[in-house]
Amino acid sequence: MSARIFVCLLLLANLITTHSFAQNIKVKGMVKDISGMAVPSANVHLIESDSWLTTNKDGVVQFVGRAGERIQVHISSLNFEAFDQTITLPQQGESWEVLFELTPKVNDLEEVRIREKKNDENGLRRLSDVENMAIYAGKKNEVVVVDGLNANLATNNARQIYAKVPGINIIENDAYGVQLGVATRGLNPNRTTEFNSRQNGYDISADPIGYPESYYTPPTEAIESIEIVRGAASLQYGTQFGGLLNFRFKNGNPDKKIELLTRQTVGSYGLFNSFTSLGGKVGKMQYYTFYQHKQGQGWRQNSGLRLNAGFGKMSYAINSKLKVSFELTLMDYQMQQPGGLTDQQFQEDPQASYRDRNWFKAQWRIPAFTADYRLNDRTQLNLRTYGLLAERGSIGNIINPLRDKTDTTSRRQLTYDHYQNFGSELRLLHRYTVAGKVSSAVVGIRYFHGNTQRTQGTGFEGNDANFNFPNEDRVDEFDYRFPSTNAALFLENVFWLSDKWTVTPGVRMEYISSNSKGYAIEPVTGEVVYGQQHKKRHFPLFGIGINRIVASGTPGSTTGSSEFYFNISQNYSPVNFSDIIVRTPNFQVDPDLKDVTGFNADLGFRGHFKNWLNFDASLYYMDYNNRIGIIRKASDDGLEVIRYRTNIGRSRSLGTEIFGEINMTKLTGLKPAAGEISVFGSLGYTNASYISAINPLLNTLIVGNQVEYAPKYVVRTGLTYKIQNLSVTMQYAFTSQQYTDAYNSSHTADGLVGEIPAYQLLDLTANYQMGKFQISGSVNNLLNERYFTRRALGFPGPGIIPNDARTATLSVAFKL
């Protein structure tokens, strides 16, 4: 079966590359200001093909398109507002003219690159049908444009950054924003494991196949945009149920040889964040680099942090067809972890910590190379090759509960990982015609090899951050290596059936090899037990998306733009290393864990209405089979109850994701001189429950229960007021009750499992631009709510992990 599908793919690829092409149309773009004067030396970026052009002295730029093609164009020029515009070429003819009008900036802020895009107002836009060598037609997606946000960037505040992405559930146990924890649709948000996490198109998690946890999150101050594509991303990016989460760094100002930005932030509980970046363009070379230092004491006792991170990227246009880039990411941090609390301890004092001996560290090094080659005006190649040299360590006392933090004699468990990964992905984007209609296809191959070494045993006594084993030759718990290999071939094609209908079928052939080899030491007898496992699987994934355009005007036009979209795509989640090897007290793992299978389906309506409404409303259904969870069972000797990780059943999630933003000033016709008011709201409703159990004994215990970490409601709404150089945002967030086990336990005496009560939060953020300076202030959790979003089973200390109460930050930025 797999061989036949592979042959069909090759035949289809050959058909695509030999098919007749659409008629080329010479496009003459005229860039003028609102008075009709030509704008020379304006930058014109054709987003789909990533081509950068410059207008001549008469404000004219020329390029070639295909009949019926939709082209997204970004235009910028010094002293003018930058903006995006989508143009649709006529179905016939040899040439076509289009006018682009630039609006002068109200204030001559040369140091600020304002991106007042008509289709990403206030920090949100959507991906084009074809963009960045990928197809997004018919897919549920959002792009968070960081420059358009009024948010606390110094702490990567996920509650504010992802406020307009409906349904995002957040584990907020890291107040510094170092480890991101987000998910949707009833998936586990712990360290974003259910998303395929990428940076500039390449993986950044520990091992996307075997251990997809993200211990590194790019600093938001360096990010241009964050792309979120729901489960339909599985065909082009990987099999994860959550979809794609891709951070795109800034590229450096193409209008300057050198641009400096420095932002210094101070905040509550000793927070200090220093961020400095340099970027620009010199000849054919464009570059961007930054350095970040962050430190703090933390709201809770024993929760300090020191972090250093850096990034450098250099792109060079060898000629008009070939551009190459090299990137290097470095990150090193160490934090003390205050551990968990029981429910009683949380009620008494959520700020308390009974553990001063628990520490965590991580080092991330990611080199990457990309090459973009344009074979002709219809065909492009993109190569992404990257590596990961990383490590993480944790040491501490994970016995629960603790009442006395002065106990320095108890054993500390040390776990240390080393990651050595290599990956490469080659994509070909080709445009052709079927029955006179323009279509686009993406064909790609991916190869990934990961090698993780995990060692666990007794660490040194004391309370310092010592990540060395007393006996490096043989630890007293286990030492395992987990080599993994992933190869994939994928094909996705968007067919324009008419001016309004598109169909996007796709297929992915996946090969996964997961292996383990090492030894474990029996805790009672001291016997060394060697183990080795090999698991290989190969399978196809299929999906299809459909778009129906209702109105095709630009977002600011009288009619606006809108479309219906539908997509259904298969997903797959392999068993990972943390599921296989766990050695904590009263905890065991099923040796016969099965991989998770299922699919995502979306049906929605999105677009703009005139110039005052931006909206996206959709229904979804997710099937999740062989769900891995934790049940309770008797120990072998029958003397105690242990927690047992195994496949427990099948769950389904269905619900709605709704976003809307209204520009009240434009709706009511108020004069802009009085300021601009916009109101947004995002709602995620999730009905995620177990519909069957693998073990019949569990049927009466879990069937019908709410899935873990699946709040029914996630609501975020806010109001932004802008006047001249001042912008103020007030945001409200509500997350309903959720559970941490399949039994939907209210709570246990040790605090390990139980409900996470509903909570509501209010945040206030303000920005003021003053010449080359910008002053920003933020108060998070304005009403001083006491709440938590996680219960830990082991490290960083079992029990409730409280979130911060009211905190404040103040930032001063300077750009030159």
The per-residue pLDDT for range 258-296, each reduced to its tens digit, is 999 999 999 999 999 999 999 999 999 999 999 999 999
Is the Cβ–Cβ distance between 74 and 47 less than 8 Å?
A: yes
Measured distance CA(692)–CA(811) in Å, rounded: 51
Q: Please provide the CATH number assigned to the domain covering 247-815.
A: 2.40.170.20
User: Residue-wise over 404-418: b if at least 16 C-beta within 10 A, else e?
Assistant: ebeeeeeebbbbbbb
pLDDT for the residue 582: 62
Query: Strand pairing of 561-573 and 596-609?
Result: antiparallel
CB crowding 517-552: b at 16 or more within 10 Å, else e:
ebebbeeeeeeeeeeeeeeeeebebebbbbbbbeeb
Query: Pairing between strand 24-33 and 60-66?
Result: antiparallel
The number of angstroms, rounded, from the C-alpha of 657 to the middle of its chain's C-alpha atoms is: 17
What is the pLDDT confidence band of residue 27, given thresholds at 50, 70 and 90?
confident
pLDDT confidence of residue 583: 62
Nearest residue to 12 via CA among 503, 439, 546, 441: 441
> Are the C-beta atoms of residues 796 and 394 closer than 8 Å to each other?
yes
Q: Could you give the CA distance from residue 589 to residue 593 in angstroms, rounded to a whole number?
A: 8
| Averaged pLDDT of the chain | 87
Q: Is the pLDDT of residue 635 over 50?
A: yes
Average pLDDT over residues 706-714: 96
Write down the pLDDT at residue 315: 95
> Where is 15: in which H helix or E strand?
helix 2-18
- pLDDT above 90 for 49: no
- Domain residue ranges of the chain, discontinuous segments joined by +: 24-104, 247-815
Q: Name which of 136, 162, 132 is nearest 233 in CA terms.
A: 136
Dihedral (C-alpha) 233, 234, 238, 243: value to the nearest 10 degrees?
A: 50
> What are the pLDDT digits (tens) for 540-586?
999 999 999 998 765 545 557 889 999 999 999 998 876 677 666 66
Distance CA 760, CA 734 (A): 4
With a cut of 80, say whether residue 404 has pLDDT above it.
no
**Comparing C-alpha atoms, which of 1, 6, 3, 136 is closest to residue 507?**
6
Amino acid sitting at position 639: L
Pairing of strands 755-756, 528-552: unpaired
Q: Which residue has the higher pLDDT, 51 or 85?
A: 85
**Which runs of E-coded beta strand occur in 2-59?**
24-33, 43-46, 51-54
With beta carbons less than 8 A apart as the criterion, state whether 496 and 437 touch: yes
Residue 405 is predicted with a pLDDT of 59
**Distance in angstroms (rounded) separating the CA atoms of residues 782 and 453:** 43
Residue 9 has a pLDDT of 46
Q: φ and ψ at 371, to 5 degrees?
A: -140, 135
Looking at residue 232, the DSSP 8-state letter turns out to be G
Summarize the confidence of residues 306-321 as an average pLDDT. Answer: 95
The pairing of strands 24-33 and 95-102 is parallel
- Check residue 44 and give its pLDDT: 84
Distances (CA, A) of 282 to 79, 285, 520: 20, 5, 56
Residue 111 predicted with pLDDT over 60? no
> What's the average model confidence in pLDDT over 106-135?
62
List the beta strands (DSSP E) in 709-806: 713-723, 726-735, 738-739, 755-756, 759-770, 773-780, 788-792, 799-802
Q: Which homologous superfamily does the CATH classification assign to the domain defined by 24-104?
A: Carboxypeptidase-like, regulatory domain (2.60.40.1120)
Please say if the pLDDT value at position 608 is more than 60: yes
Highest mean pLDDT among 57-71, 433-447, 544-558, 562-576: 562-576
Retrieve residue 787's tokens: 């709440």
pLDDT at 40 over 60: yes
3-state helix, strand, coil in the chain (%, to 5): 10, 55, 35
Asked whether the predicted pLDDT for residue 465 surpasses 80, the reply is: yes
Residues in the chain: 816
Percent of the chain whose predicted confidence (pLDDT) is above 90: 59
Instruction: Identify the band that residue 7 occupies on the pLDDT scale cut at 50, 70 and 90.
Output: very low
Q: Which two tokens stand for residue 565?
A: 């979209």
What is residue 733's predicted lDDT score, i.e. its pLDDT?
97
- 212: number of CA atoms within 13 Å, CB side? 26
Is beta strand 285-296 parallel, antiparallel or unpaired with respect to 305-317?
antiparallel
